[in-house]
Amino acid sequence: MQKIGNKIMLLIKKITISIILLTLICQPVLAGEAVGFNKEAFIASAGVKKALQIGMVDCVAMALKNNSEIQVRRIEPLKAGDDVLVQKAAFDPELSFNYSMENDVEQSAAGLIAKNPSKDRTNVFNFGYDEKFVTGTQVGLDFYNTRASSNSPIQNINPAFDSELGITITQPLMKGAGIIVNKAFFLIAQNNQLKSVQDFTYEVINILTEVKKNYYEFQYTQEQYRVARTSLERVQNLHYINKEKYAKGLASNVDLLQSESEVARMEQATYAAERVMKASEDRLKYITNLVNDPDLWNADITLLDKVGYEKKEVDLKTSVITAFEHRPDYEAAKIDLKSKDISIVYYKNALLPQVDLIGSYSLNGLDKNYGKDLRHLGSGKYQDWLIGVNVSMPIFFDKERGEYDKSKLEKNQALIKFKRLEQQIILAVRDAVRDIDLRYKSVEASTVSKNAEEENYTAQESRFKAGLVSTLDMLIYQERLARAQVDYIKTIIDYNVSLIELARVQGMTLINDNIAIE
């Protein structure tokens, strides 16, 4: 029942981690949002000693929520999403409206046929709709309206309403033609957004890997400190026995000095182990950003997970296949290659001449009454149309040829990096799998060594009390025991770290921890 309860708690914590990361990704980022720092709160908490019990999943959750590097990197996919909107705007329809009124009063040189001064007033109000399609086709729909009035006797229609409703279509036939060419920057922006998510995922994997490594490092230094304190207690007990023996004339002054000197040395070693432990504790607080919490920055951390390990069978071939399926940086590199292909298509098209087919059709109206003007326009009797071709091209194409050559070189460069990345992934996975096997063998060897030293020390301790073993020998046995115990802990920590490293090089860290980035 206890094992089932532990599994349920672990599942709950994993779900909590997923929720935290989803919230982290989805929450809006406010421009100019400031992070407050309450100096007084930190000073006040400096005099209060607190204890904090946390496990590995707690550290992962805190890092996801608070790690400053994750907070910075998570903005990149949001920025890339805005770039997509910017490029998408090239195909957004555009409405336009303009109105103007012009009044012109001037002296007339034609006095016989015009009044002096001449007075003209013109009102213009136009509407427009323009849209570009992914094929390169540009469509413009315009509705022009003019009202002109004058005191000139030769203007037969006064005032004159002149309206025109027309459509103009421009279709590129060579340069600028095609869906890929016109959507190139939009597609690249979309790819960059996908790539930024993969880059962010890869960064999260690296940070969580460091969190776990720091957790295990702190766990090791805590155990190292515990062994140092236990060794000190053994030496103190040995010194106490020597003092009793010395008082009874059963031990020499040399034995007493040896144990007394070892007590002093072990005290120094214990203090050194404590300093190392506290430095490791601070690194764990820093990467989880507990240092930014005024209530917890100075707390003493106790780790809930016990030192232990579980053997894991790993296969090199399967591990390599898994890495190529799940490595975010590998996926990002493939996305980048797609963008390079799009650039090549775009710049190759730019080497073609600009040949545009243009066609327009419009209906006209004219009358002194605006309503009749529109009826004339709607009757379809008065039509204008135009069809033609516009051709233009640079004489030398130097810019276009340079950009096209550059895009091909960038693709070749990306391919070389891509193949290099594949090689690095294979080697990294091979090293991680091999390291797991060697670390496990070290655990087995250190287990045998620790057990043997513990049994030997127990036997020698009884002999020492019986006066069959010297103080110097006991000190040697104690040192060997402490070293074996520390080595045993170190091999377990190293084995667990090797499993974490394999998950990182496979891109499986988030999957193993049930963390999803949406």
Residues 361 and 291 in one domain: no
Residues 62 and 99 in one domain: no
| CB distance 152 to 115 below 8 Å | yes
- In this predicted structure, what is the pLDDT of residue 487? 96
Residues 507 and 359 in one domain: no
- In this predicted structure, what is the pLDDT of residue 152? 77
| CB distance 67 to 289 below 8 Å | yes
> Is 324 inside any structural domain?
yes
d(CA 114, CA 518): 76
- In this predicted structure, what is the pLDDT of residue 33? 42
Which domain does 109 fall in, by range?
Answer: 94-132+137-175+354-392
Residues 73 and 168 in one domain: no
> Is 195 inside any structural domain?
yes
- In this predicted structure, what is the pLDDT of residue 18? 46
Residues 250 and 282 in one domain: yes
Please give the tally of structural domains in the chain.
2
Residues 200 and 225 in one domain: yes
With a cut of 60, say whether residue 187 has pLDDT above it.
Answer: yes
d(CA 241, CA 231): 15
Residues 267 and 385 in one domain: no
d(CA 304, CA 362): 80
> Is 63 inside any structural domain?
yes
Mean pLDDT, to the nearest integer, of 205-211? 96
What mean pLDDT, rounded, does the chain reach? 89
Residues 275 and 193 in one domain: yes
Residues 425 and 284 in one domain: yes
pLDDT in tens, 56-69: 999 999 999 989 89
pLDDT in tens, 82-136: 999 999 999 999 999 999 999 988 876 655 556 778 888 999 999 999 999 999 9
Residues 436 and 455 in one domain: yes
- In this predicted structure, what is the pLDDT of residue 41? 82
| CB distance 330 to 421 below 8 Å | yes
pTM for this predicted structure: 0.83
| CB distance 346 to 184 below 8 Å | yes
Confidence of residue 27 (pLDDT cuts 50, 70, 90): very low
Q: Which CATH number characterizes residue 193's domain?
A: 1.20.1600.10
Residues 271 and 295 in one domain: yes
- In this predicted structure, what is the pLDDT of residue 247? 87
Residues 255 and 157 in one domain: no
